[in-house]
Amino acid sequence: MLTIGNEIKHTATWFKLGLSIGAALMSMFDVASDVYTISHYHNLGKHATADLMTFLVILSLVLQLLVVIAIHHKNKRRTLIEMLGTLTFTKPAFNKVRERA
């Protein structure tokens, strides 16, 4: 029974790692596609559209940081860790790990 239990935990850990890496990559791909689209609009001469898109991406990031601060303001270390995850676009991966734990 212990051997079976250890094997199940080991398999779940690798599955969790795979999901976390996938979540982080998708989040980073989303940001990269936003940057590419903004650059594309600038190259087309549609500066107002590109500037609006840039503003919306920054606004989204600022709102996410404000929510992190509002939720975790009592624990400074946890707040900094969550803010780092938000700024590096790896927070979905961290959330996926916590979700399966």
Q: Report the range of poorest mean pLDDT among 10-14, 33-37, 66-70, 71-75.
A: 10-14
Q: Report pLDDT digits (tens) over 41-80.
A: 999 999 999 999 999 999 999 999 999 999 999 999 999 9
Nearest to 60 by CA among 96, 31, 81, 99: 31
CB atoms within 10 A of CB 31: 13
Confidence of residue 101 (pLDDT cuts 50, 70, 90): low
Total number of domains constituting the chain: 1
Range of the domain at 55: 2-100
Q: Give the pLDDT of residue 11.
A: 65
The answer for residues whose C-beta is within 8 angstroms of residue 37's C-beta and 6 or more apart is 53
Q: Give the pLDDT of residue 25.
A: 85
Percent of the chain residues past pLDDT 90, beyond the cut: 46
